[in-house]
Amino acid sequence: MIRKLKSGEYRIYSRKVDEKTGKRRNLGTFKSRSAAEKHEREIQYFKHS
Q: Is residue 5's pLDDT more than 90? A: yes
Under a CB-based contact definition with an 8 Å cutoff, are residues 14 and 20 in contact?
A: no
pLDDT tier at 48, thresholds 50, 70, 90: confident
Using CB atoms within 10 A of its CB, is residue 15 exposed (0-12), middle (13-18) or buried (19+)? exposed
The pLDDT tens digits for 31-46 are 999 999 999 999 999 9
Domain that holds residue 41: 2-47
Beta strands across the sheet bearing 10-17: 2-4, 10-17, 24-30
Q: How many domains does the chain have?
A: 1
Distance, CA of 10 to CA of 48 (rounded, Å): 24
Report the chain's mean pLDDT, rounded to a whole number: 95
Q: What percent of the chain has pLDDT over 90?
A: 94
Q: Is residue 20's pLDDT more than 90? A: yes
